[in-house]
C-alpha cells in the first residue's frame, strides 16, 4: 500500500509529467544514436549529445525563466526574440569596432551596453502594460515587430562577425570542462528561485497574477511588480542574446532569436505554469525548455524529413499538452485504474479553478 501511495504522490508531483516526457524523448534517441548518453573528453572539454542539448538549450532556458514570471502575473512577452536580436547586435557591433577585440574591459562594456538596451525594452513593455493598461500581447508586439528593424539598423542588414576570445566564452566557450553557458543559466535560475521562493516576491507576483486589483487594494504595488517582471524578462532575453551571438561569434539581426518567444511560451506551459497567471514553477520551465531542445535535437538525429519537421514537433507537443491535462488523464488513465476511489479522486483534485474549463489546465 505504501508503494502505491508513494507512486501516487510521485505521479501527482507537478514535475512528474514534464520529466517523464523529457526522459522518454531522450530514450527515443538511443536506437538512432547508439552512444547518445556517452560523454567523453575532447580537446579538454566534455563532449556528447547531452552536453550539446544543454549548451544549445541555454538561451531558451533563460528566456523561458523570464517569461515564466511575466506569465505568472497574467501577462505575456512577445518581444523577447527581438530583444535577443537587439542585444546581440549592439554588443557585437560595439566589439567589432574595437581595435583589440580581446580587451576584457571593452567586452564587458559592450555587454553592459547590450544588457542596458534590453532592460530599457523591458521597462518600455512594463510601462505600456502596467501604467498605460495596454493588453500585454499588444504592448509587447510593438517591440517584437519593430525591434527586429532596430537590430537590422544596428547591423546595417549584415551579419557582424567578431573575433573576441573573451566574448566567445559566454555562449560557446568551456570552463571547468563544461560549457560556460551552463554556469550562467545555473546562476540566473538560482537567483530567480532564491528571490521568488525565499522572499515574498514570488508570492507577490502570484497574487498580482491572480487578481491585480485585489492585490493593489491589500497594499501590494502591483504596477511596480509588473514593470519589474517585464524588465527581468527582458534582462534574461538580453543575456540569452549575448549567448546566441557569442555561440556563433556573430550577430544576425534577422535571424537571432527568431520565434524564440513561442518556444519559450511553450516551455513555460509544458513546465506546468498556467497561462492564466497566478502561479508558476521555475523548475517546470527549465524542464520544459530542455524538452523542447531535446525534441529539436531528436528531429535532427532520427532523420525526420525536413518537410515534416514541424508536423512531428506539433504531434509531440499535442501529446505533451494532453498528458498535462488532468481531465484528459482522468478520462484515459482513470477509467483503466482498477481502484474505485482513485478514479473519483483524480478529477476532483484540480478543481480550484473551475472557470478555467476550456483553457489548458495543469497539474499541481
Partner 1 sequence: MLSRRNFLTAAVGVAAATGLAACAKEDGSSAAAAGSGSKAITLGFSQVGSESGWRTANSDSVKSAAKEAGYTLKFSDAQQKQENQISAIRNYIAQKVDVIAFSPVVVTGWDAVLKEAKAAKIPVVLTDRSVETSDDSLYVTLVGSDFTDEGRRAAKILEKVLEKAGHKGAVKIAQLEGTTGAAPAIERAKGFKEVMEADHADDWKVVVSQTGDFTRAGGKQVMAAFLQSNPDINVLFAHNDDMAIGAIQSIEAAGKKPGKDILIVSIDGVKDGFVAMSEGKINAIVECNPLLGPQLMEVVKKVKDGETVERWIKTKESDFMQDQAKDALPTRKY
Question: Of 24, 28, 109, 116, which lies in the binding site for partner 1, with binding defined by CB under 8 A?
Answer: 116
Closest CA to 70 of 285, 239, 245, 258: 285
Which residue's CB is nearer to partner 1, number 125 or number 324?
Answer: 125
Q: Does 306 bind partner 1 (CB under 8 A)?
A: yes
Alpha helices in 130-200 (DSSP H): 136-155, 165-172, 180-197
Total residues contacting partner 1 by CB under 8 A comes to: 57
Stretch that binds partner 1, among 102-110, 149-157, 215-223, 278-286 (CB under 8 A): 149-157
Which residue's CB is nearer to partner 1, number 30 or number 104?
Answer: 30
Q: Does 295 bind partner 1 (CB under 8 A)?
A: no
Stretch that binds partner 1, among 186-194, 243-251, 261-269, 350-358 (CB under 8 A): 243-251
Stretch that binds partner 1, among 70-78, 138-146, 198-206, 271-279 (CB under 8 A): 138-146
Q: What is the DSSP letter of 338?
A: S
Cβ pair 118, 86 in contact under 8 A? yes
**Nearest distance in Å: CB 43, partner 1:** 5
Q: Does 296 bind partner 1 (CB under 8 A)?
A: yes
Question: Of 22, 54, 56, 329, which lies in the binding site for partner 1, with binding defined by CB under 8 A?
Answer: 56
Which residue's CB is nearer to partner 1, number 114 or number 271?
Answer: 114
Alpha-carbon distances of 79 from 60, 85, 122, 191, 241, rounded to whole Å: 14, 10, 9, 23, 12
Alpha helices in the chain (DSSP H): 2-11, 16-29, 49-72, 80-96, 104-126, 136-155, 165-172, 180-197, 201-210, 212-217, 222-247, 260-270, 282-301, 309-324, 326-329, 335-336, 340-348
Cα 164 to chain centroid distance, Å, stands at 27
Q: Does 177 bind partner 1 (CB under 8 A)?
A: no
Closest CA to 48 of 151, 229, 174: 174
Site residues (vs partner 1, CB under 8 A): 32-33, 35-36, 42-43, 45, 47-49, 52, 56, 86, 90, 93, 113, 116-117, 120-121, 123-124, 142-143, 145-147, 149-150, 152-154, 156-159, 161, 172, 244, 247-250, 252, 254-256, 296-297, 299-303, 306-307, 309
Amino acid at each position: 500500500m505504501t508503494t502505491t501511495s508513494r507512486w501516487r504522490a510521485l505521479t501527482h508531483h507537478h514535475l512528474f509529467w514534464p520529466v517523464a516526457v523529457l526522459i522518454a524523448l531522450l530514450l527515443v534517441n538511443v536506437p538512432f544514436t547508439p552512444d547518445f548518453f556517452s560523454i567523453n573528453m575532447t580537446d579538454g572539454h566534455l563532449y556528447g549529445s547531452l552536453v550539446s542539448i544543454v549548451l544549445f538549450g541555454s538561451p531558451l532556458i533563460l528566456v523561458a525563466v523570464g517569461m515564466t514570471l511575466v506569465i505568472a502575473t497574467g501577462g505575456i512577452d512577445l518581444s523577447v526574440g527581438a530583444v535577443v536580436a537587439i542585444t546581440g547586435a549592439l554588443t557585437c557591433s560595439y566589439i567589432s569596432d574595437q581595435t583589440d577585440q580581446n580587451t576584457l574591459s571593452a567586452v564587458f562594456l559592450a555587454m553592459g551596453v547590450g544588457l542596458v538596451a534590453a532592460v530599457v525594452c523591458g521597462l518600455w513593455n512594463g510601462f505600456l502594460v502596467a501604467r498605460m493598461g495596454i493588453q500585454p500581447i499588444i504592448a509587447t508586439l510593438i517591440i517584437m515587430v519593430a525591434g527586429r528593424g532596430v537590430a537590422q539598423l544596428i547591423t546595417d542588414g549584415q551579419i557582424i562577425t567578431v573575433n573576441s576570445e573573451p566574448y566567445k566564452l559566454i555562449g560557446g566557450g568551456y570552463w571547468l570542462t563544461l560549457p560556460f553557458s551552463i554556469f550562467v543559466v545555473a546562476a540566473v535560475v538560482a537567483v530567480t528561485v532564491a528571490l521568488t521562493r525565499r522572499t515574498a516576491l514570488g508570492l507577490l507576483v502570484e497574487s498580482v497574477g491572480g487578481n491585480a486589483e485585489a492585490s493593489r487594494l491589500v497594499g501590494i504595488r502591483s504596477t511596480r511588480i509588473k514593470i519589474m517582471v517585464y524588465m527581468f524578462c527582458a534582462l534574461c532575453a538580453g543575456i540569452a542574446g549575448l549567448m546566441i551571438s557569442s555561440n556563433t561569434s556573430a550577430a544576425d539581426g534577422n535571424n537571432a532569436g527568431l520565434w524564440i518567444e513561442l518556444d519559450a511560451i511553450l516551455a513555460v506551459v509544458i513546465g506546468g505554469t498556467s497561462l492564466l497567471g497566478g502561479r508558476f514553477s521555475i523548475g517546470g520551465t527549465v524542464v520544459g525548455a530542455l524538452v523542447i531542445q531535446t525534441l529539436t535535437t531528436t528531429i535532427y538525429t532520427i532523420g525526420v524529413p525536413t518537410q515534416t519537421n514541424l508536423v512531428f514537433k506539433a504531434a509531440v507537443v499535442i501529446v505533451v499538452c494532453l498528458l498535462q491535462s488532468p481531465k484528459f488523464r482522468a478520462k484515459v488513465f482513470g477509467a483503466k485504474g482498477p481502484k474505485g476511489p482513485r478514479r473519483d479522486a483524480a478529477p476532483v483534485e484540480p478543481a480550484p479553478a473551475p472557470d478555467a474549463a476550456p483553457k489548458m489546465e495543469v497539474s499541481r
